[in-house]
Amino acid sequence: MAKSKASAMKVTKFTYQNPDSDGDIRLEGEIVIENTADFDVELVKVSCTVLNGSGVTVGGDVSDYENIFITPKSTEKIDLSLGWSYHKDLFEGELDKMSVLIEATSFKRDFVKIGSLEMPDVGELAMIKKNISLGGLAEIRGISALRKKNDDEGQIELEIRAGFRNISDTHIERAQLTSKLIDQRDAEIESNVDYNPVPSKSGYLFQPSFYGVKAGKAKNAELKFSASIFVPLDTFTAQSTATLYVDDY
C-alpha cells in the first residue's frame, strides 16, 4: 500500500455555524477522493481530528463508508462525520481559526462464493469440507452447521462455525462472512453479515446465527455462504481551516 499524493483527496467543505442559544456549534465537512489505484474501491475509512486555534484537539470521529464504489481514475464525494457537542468555549473565541486533520484509507474487496448446505435435521451436523481461498491472502477452513433441538417456542437452534485465517503479511481491515437462509421457494428467510479486522498471521472465528425462525419455515431450507476481505489500497491526508457557513436561501 502506497501513500497517495495529497491532491488525490480534496477538502471541498469545512464550515461552522454561529453558536446557538446554548453556545453549541455545528460543523459540516465534505471531501472528494480520487481512486488512483487499478482496483475498484468498496470501502473507505476516514478519521477526522478537529483542532482549535491553539492546535489542540477538541473533537473528532472515525467512520467507515461501506456503501461506496469508486472505479479506477474516478472520484467520489463523501460527507464527513465530524462528531458532536462542540461548545464555543472550546475555540477560545476564534472560531475562524479552527481546523480539521483528515486521514482516509481506501480498500479493495476480494469476494468469493463459498457454497451452500441443506438445512440439517435435528441432531445432524452438516459441513462444507473444503478450504476456501480469498485472494491468496486468507482462507476459510470449511464451515460446520450443527442443528440442535428446537427451543420451547418451536424455533430452530443452529450453531454455525467458520474458521478464518489471515495467512499473509497484510493487515485485513475487514474479513466478512455473509450467511443467508433460503426457503424451499428460493426466498430469503434471514441473512447475517459478520465482520472483524484480522491482523497478519492470525485468525478469527465466525459464528453467524439466525433468530426467531420457526422449524416449519426452515423445512427444506438451504444455507448459502459467501466471504469477502477488504485490504488497503491507498492512504490520503489533508488539513483545512473552517469558514463560516452562509445560507444562500
List, for residues 154-206, the tens digit of each pLDDT value: 999 999 999 999 999 999 999 999 999 999 999 999 999 999 999 999 999 99
pLDDT the model gives residue 246: 81
**Hey, what's the torsion of the CAs at 145, 146, 150, 156, to 10 degrees?**
0
pLDDT, residue 28, reads 95
Q: Which domains does the chain have, with CATH numbers?
A: 2-109+233-244 (2.60.40.10), 110-231 (2.60.210.10)
The rounded percent of the chain whose pLDDT value lies above 90 is 90
Q: Look over the chain and give the mean of its residue pLDDT values, rounded to a whole number.
A: 93
pLDDT at position 84: 85
What pLDDT score was predicted for residue 6? 36
Contact by Cβ (8 Å): 116, 225 = yes
CB 5, CB 54: distance < 8 Å = no
Edge to edge, what strands does the sheet with 125-134 contain?
125-134, 138-148, 157-166, 202-206
**Residues, the chain:** 249
Q: What are phi and psi of 19, to 5 degrees?
A: -60, 145
Nearest CA among 53, 2, 225 for reference residue 128: 225
- What pLDDT band is residue 4 in, cutting at 50, 70 and 90? very low
Q: What angle do CA 230, 74, 76 make, to 5 degrees?
A: 70
What cell does 149 get?
433441538
The answer to whether 26 touches 16, Cβ cutoff 8 Å, is: yes
Query: pLDDT category, 13, cuts 50, 70, 90?
Result: very high
Is residue 3 pLDDT above 80, yes or no? Answer: no
The pTM of the whole model exceeds 0.85: no
Is 162 in contact with 190 (CB distance < 8 Å)? Answer: no
The pLDDT of 73-97, averaged and rounded, is 94
